Chains A and B, each alone.
Chain A
Amino acid sequence: MRGGRKTADRTENTDEGIRSKAYSHREVSTMSPVLWILDALFCASLLGLAWQTLRTRDLFKAIVLYIVFGLMMAMAWARLDAPDVALVEAAIGAGVTGVLLLSTLGTLSAARGEGSQRGGAFASAVPVAGLVTGLVGCLVGVLAVAVWQLPVESPGLSAAVEARQEESGTSNPVTAVLLNFRAYDTLLELTVLLLAVLGAEVLAGSEAAGSEAAEGGVAAQETAPRQETGPRQETGPRQETGPRQETGTRQGPDAQQERPPAADRDPVLRGFVRLVAPAMIVVAGYVLWIGGEAPGGAFPSGAVLAAMSFLLMLARAEEGPRLSRRGGRWILVAGLIVFWGVGIAMLAAERRFLEYPVPAAKGLVLLIEAVAAVSIAATLVALYRGGRLVRRPRRTVDSEFRS
């Protein structure tokens, strides 16, 4: 009955042409049976994927399922009229998180076969699991009742956003909120990113320093998978006594031990990356620019740039400009510096912090977004590399992906 009422309302409003012009190309989600089935399928597969992700004992499988889950989430966002979120989720939520998880799994060298061990994967015996399930179920049930009892309609802050949209310098309401109305959030978000990078660098630090002499400055965790899959083991007796004899589940890494030397591998990938990388830079710029009036903006753009960097690292692309470490650090903090600079300039102009003058708003938003996109990309790459954006040449990362 509730659904029927809301459907009627929505259709009515659509006919009145209330929707904004920027968003008018999108469908209003009327609950026709087909769409309802689609939504139900989405929700069911989301729940099923999450369940399988956390139920399986094979961590590699769990990560792959989680990546699929992230892509399904992106489709759910699109279904919920949140294309900005969908873009970021697809790029960051599924892509970058998956890369980070896989590279960590590679570091925990043998973790993949670990799931076959008995008694380790789950915390506890059946009664405890039942208790936890029951309590979580109760919590979710209570929350579900609360959600069910919420009013069918709630305008939220959309009217307020719409009223001031003109002054924000952008016609995409999400960008307006992110970079103008609630620019504090984004400023602090960039700070959180930087803190995460610092934390990652500190955590990776001691061993990175130790291995720098021998390894040429790799972040330390990247040396770990080489113990099993790297060229170091291709000769010598270790092949015979390594842990690979213990379980039958480690065929993959074994096969990789007979790989040819690094430079000759993956000509297809290298050629592909050479073709795709420039296009990705263009896409990143386009997504950044279009964020002013349609879904897009700094975060998807930065994620595309980061994805390009991951591809370059995978393909061991040696060419391209080299950064000094100092330069890398400047890139990491550039977004914050510009953001703070704009905010303080506003103070100097006797406005409030981050309160842009209307005529200059578009330019300022674009400036902040452009620098922030580069910083975000750099941050994601640095998070992957254990907190360092720049390391010395001839370090490669693909062993992490393969192990």
Chain B
Amino acid sequence: MTTGTLYALCGLGLFGIGLGGIILRTHLLHKIIATNVISSGVFLVLVALADRTRGGRPDPVPHAMVLTGIVVAISATALALGLLRRFYRETGRCRLPEPGSLAPGSLAPGSLERWSPERRSEGGDAEKGNAEKGNGEKGNAEKGNAEKGNAEKGNAEKGNGGEASGGKGDGCRTW
């Protein structure tokens, strides 16, 4: 096996790991990282296969393409992160609802209904309080009511603090 082949196979492995990650991970930030792993794998295959020239000097065209690709990848990453931030600001969540992916106990029954647009536009506090209650019961029932109470109190106070984004504090933890 040549160096090029070895790294090309490694790139394929990275592609596979990233693809699995993008499907199986639910947190959107994790999905974005997975996308980057996929692109790294693709770049690795391209450059590794450029190494098959006679003589020691590899083909520069794939190298230039990968250079371009890295910069485009970071643009796409930055845009995706912007979308994620906006999504988080609008909904207080970091995951997309996927009805097919509901693991037992991960979501309270009916919680997807909170995704309707009119509920979203109501603003974060009440909605997030619900979400935390629902998930709190399922996720760590043993921690009990005191914690939930604190979470809600925290949210309410933040909301009353007069900050524009104050009510949308920490929905990401409870999903």
Residues of A within 8 A of B (CB): 2-3, 6-7, 9-10, 13-14, 18-20, 23, 26, 28-29, 31, 35, 39-40, 42-43, 46-47, 50-51, 53-54, 59, 62-63, 66, 69-70, 73, 76-77, 79-82, 84-85, 88-89, 92-93, 96-97, 100-101, 104-105, 107-111, 113-114, 117-125, 128-129, 132-133, 136-137, 139-140, 143-144, 147-148, 150-158, 161, 173-174, 176-178, 182, 185-186, 189, 192-193, 195-196, 199-200, 203-204, 207, 210-211, 214, 220-221, 223-224, 227-228, 232, 237-238, 241-243, 245-247, 299, 376, 380, 383-384, 386-387
Contacts and interface: CB of A to CB of B under 8 A. Distances in A.
Interface string B130-167: 00000100111001000100110110011001011110
B78 interface: yes
Q: Kindly name the residue among A7, A147, A238 whose own CB sees the greatest number of chain B CB atoms within 10 A.
A: A147
A241 B161 CA distance: 13
B140 A156 contact: no
Contact of A299 (B1, B71, B103, B135): B71
B78 A383 contact: yes
Contacts of B45: 147
Contacts of B27: 59, 111, 114, 120-121
Given A111-B94, A123-B103, 19 more contacts: A10-B55, A14-B55, A93-B73, A100-B77, A100-B78, A107-B85, A108-B172, A111-B172, A114-B175, A122-B25, A147-B49, A148-B5, A154-B52, A158-B57, A203-B82, A238-B154, A245-B147, A247-B173, A299-B71
A376 B98 CA distance: 37
Contacts of B123: none
B60 A158 contact: yes
A261 B73 CA distance: 37
Interface of B: 1-10, 12-21, 23-27, 29-30, 32-34, 36-37, 40, 43-45, 47-68, 70-79, 81-86, 88-89, 94-95, 98, 100-101, 103-106, 135, 138-140, 143, 147, 150-151, 153-154, 157-158, 161, 163-166, 168-175
B58 A43 contact: no
23 contacts: A39-B3, A43-B7, A53-B37, A80-B47, A85-B70, A93-B74, A100-B77, A101-B29, A107-B88, A108-B29, A109-B172, A110-B170, A110-B173, A123-B25, A140-B15, A155-B53, A161-B59, A173-B60, A189-B71, A192-B71, A193-B71, A193-B75, A299-B67
Nearest to A175: B64
B75 A243 contact: no
A139 B33 contact: no
B30 A62 contact: yes
Nearest to A119: B106
Nearest to A148: B5
B86 to A, nearest CB: 5
Contact of A220 (B7, B34, B50, B89): B89
A111 B78 CA distance: 18
B169 A109 contact: yes
Contacts, number: 389
Contacts of B94: 108, 111, 114
Contact of B61 (A3, A161, A237): A161
A221 B85 contact: yes
Given A10-B56, A54-B33, A84-B63, A110 B172 contact: yes
Contacts of A47: 10, 13-14, 17
A140 B13 contact: yes
A210 B101 contact: no
A196 B75 contact: yes
Nearest to B175: A120
List the 5 closest pairs (A to B, CB-CB), nearest first. Answer: A110-B170, A156-B59, A54-B21, A196-B75, A119-B106
Given A76-B7, A147-B9, A386-B82, A81 B51 contact: yes
Contact of B82 (A51, A113, A200): A200
B26 A123 contact: yes
A120 B44 contact: no
B146 to A, nearest CB: 9
A267 to B, nearest CB: 31
B52 A151 contact: yes
Contacts of A178: 64, 67-68
A114 B173 contact: yes
A92 B74 contact: yes
Contacts of A133: 20
